[in-house]
Amino acid sequence: MITLTIDNKTVEVVKGSTVLEAAKKLKIDIPTLCYDSRMKPHGACRLCIVEIEGMRRPVTSCTTPAEQGMAVTTTSAHLERLRKTTVELLLSDHPNDCMVCIRAGSCTLQELAYKYGIRENRFGGAMRDHNRVDENPFIMREQNKCVLCGLCVRVCEEVQGVSAIGYAGRGFEAKICSPFEHDLNCEFCGQCVSVCPTGALSAKMWAGHPRHEGVELTETTCTYCGCGCNITLHSLGNEITRVSSRTDNHNRGWLCVKGRFGYEFINSEDRLTTPLIRREKGGALEPASWEEAISLVVDKFSAIKEKHGADALGGLASARCTNEENYMFQKLFRSAIGTNNVDHCARY
């Protein structure tokens, strides 16, 4: 363990920790744009600068290892001036679009502009124009809002192992795109969307739904595969408008394309909305009331059991439904009907 002081508070961290991690342990808030604890530090945005006793210049805390006896200052007039300038430079070629931007209200850049009170820009000048239409079905790219934090490139390479996107061009012309600027053709996990700190990356499916107003969040579990990812459903009334995932869960906020973007079936027009009964063999299924449908099931099951015995009935439970439903289903067969003819379709 290593002991150091940050803003005159003492903290102990394991060897190999960074100054930023030590500060987080003390719950000291240092602004960042390109940092994500789930990936290797990058040191690109320069917002996390701190002063360390004995060093001539401020250093980026995300890339500086904590050392025994270090004395760190995270906030000073000088540091705040530098940070404000950094944000002003980022905003100098940024579209002033917050009113209609999908990310407003959860945008790190917008928060920084608010924090430093930046309204008029000292550095106004040429604006980049990198926007191009990408026809992929999932991911909306508005490159004019990109701050080159590199999080999307890193998550795609470091976490997803796909490397579908990279840097192109230099300096003012630098941008992030897929090879040869083709339409994105990747695993569409949306990891890049989830780490983007601005409105540069979003989901096409989010458009047209409220960003925050009236939206409720529900923590639940993905319905697709056995990974059991934790997801957050965003809903407005009875419509699911978005799926996200918190970074502090067992899947660390990562999801796959099905979990993140495969939710439209829930509000599909095709959903069954009323019981159906085939009133005569070979006839069509016709709408019925619950009372009629359940009575028919109970009568038929009773009659078959009466005539042929309980083992003439069988049930297939569902590996997609809940534990409680599965329990109740096998209990229905074993105890109310009296047979062990109960299984589910997928053994694995």
Partner 1 sequence: MAGLAAKFGSGAMTNSVAEIETAKALLVIGSNTTENHPIIALRMKEAVRKGAKLIVADPRKIPLTKFATLWLRHKPGTDSVLLNAMMNVILAEGLEDKNFINERTEGFAEFADSLKEFTPEMAEPITGVPAEDIRKAARIYAEAENAGIYYAMGITQHVMGTNNVHAVGNLAMLTGNLGKPGAGVNPLRGQNNVQGACDMGSLPNVYPGYQKVDSPEVQKKFEAAWGKPLSSKIGLPASLMTEAMIEGKLKGMYIFGENPALSDPNTHHAVKGFESLEFLVVQDIFNTETTDLADVVLPSASFAEKTGTFTCSERRIQKVRPAIASPGEAREDLAVISEIYQRLNGEAVTVPDPEAVFAEVASLWPGISGVSYERLEEESLQWPCPSADHPGTPYLFKEMFPREGGKAQFTVVPRVISSELPDTEYPYLLTTGRELFHYHTGTMTRRSTGLDAVAPTAFIEINPADALKLGIADGDQVNVSSRRGTIKLPTRVSEIVPPEVVFIPFHYKEASANKLTSDALDPICKIMEAKVCAVRIEK
Nearest distance from C-beta of residue 329 to ligand SF4, angstroms: 23
39 part of the interface to partner 1, by CB under 8 A: no
Q: At what angle do helices 108-115 and 77-92 cross, to 10 degrees?
A: 130
What span, in angstroms and rounded, lies between the C-alpha atoms of 246 and 220? Answer: 11
Torsional class of 231: left (φ above 0), alpha (ψ -120 to 50), beta (otherwise): beta
180 binds, among partner 1, ligand SF4, none (CB under 5 to 8 A by kind): none
Residues 52 and 60: their CA atoms lie apart, in Å, by: 10
Q: Report the partner that residue 79 touches, choosing among ligand SF4, partner 1, none (CB closer than 5 to 8 A by kind).
A: none
CA atoms of 188 and 137, how far apart (whole Å) = 9
Give how many residues touch partner 1 by CB under 8 A. 108
Minimum distance from residue 153 beta carbon to ligand SF4 (Å): 9
CA distance linking residue 106 with residue 197, whole number of Å: 8
Looking at 70-188, which runs of residues are DSSP E strands? Answer: 71-73, 139-141, 166-168, 175-177
Give the one entry of ligand SF4, partner 1, none that residue 45 binds, where binding means its C-beta sits below a cut-off of 5 to 8 angstroms depending on kind: none
Residue number with CB closer to ligand SF4 (233 or 288): 233
37 belongs to the binding site for partner 1 (CB under 8 A)? no
Residue (52 or 189) nearer to ligand SF4, CB: 189
- Residues 147-166 close enough to bind partner 1 by CB under 8 A: 158-161
**Interacting positions 203-262 with partner 1 (CB under 8 A):** 204-205, 216, 218-230, 233, 235, 237-240, 250-251, 254-258, 261-262
Query: Of 203, 196, 107, which is closest to residue 148 (Cα–Cα)?
Result: 196
- The reply to whether 140 sits near partner 1 by the rule CB under 8 A is no
Contact partner at residue 323 from ligand SF4, partner 1, none, CB < 5 to 8 Å by partner kind: partner 1
State yes or no: residue 188 binds partner 1 (CB under 8 A).
yes
Residue ranges that bind ligand SF4, judged by CB under 6 A:
94-95, 97-98, 101, 103-104, 107, 109-110, 145, 155-156, 160, 162, 164-165, 186-192, 198-199, 222, 224-225, 227-229, 255-256, 258-259
In angstroms, rounded to a whole number, what is the distance separating the alpha carbons of residues 46 and 60?
Answer: 6
Least separation in angstroms between CB 35 and partner 1: 19
How do strand 139-141 and strand 71-73 relate by DSSP bridges? unpaired
Binding to partner 1 (CB under 8 A) within 107-136 occurs at 136
Tell me how far apart the alpha carbons of residues 124 and 126 are, in angstroms, rounded to a whole number: 7
| Range in contact with partner 1 (rule: CB under 8 A) among 5-13, 23-31, 107-115, 334-342 | 334-342
Nearest approach in angstroms of CB 80 to ligand SF4 is: 20
Find out whether 169 and 175 touch, Cβ atoms under 8 Å: yes
Q: Which residues of 212-225 are buried (b: 16+ CB within 10 A; e: fewer)?
A: eeeeeeeeeebeee
- Please give the Cα distance from 112 to 197 (Å, whole number): 11
**Cβ nearer to partner 1, comparing 172 with 327:** 327
How near is the Cβ of 61 to partner 1 at its closest, in Å? 24
Closer Cβ to ligand SF4, 103 or 234, answer by number: 103
Give the torsion sign (CA, 179, 183, 184, 186). Answer: negative
Site string for partner 1, 304-323 (x = CB under 8 A): x---x-xxxxxxxxxxxxxx
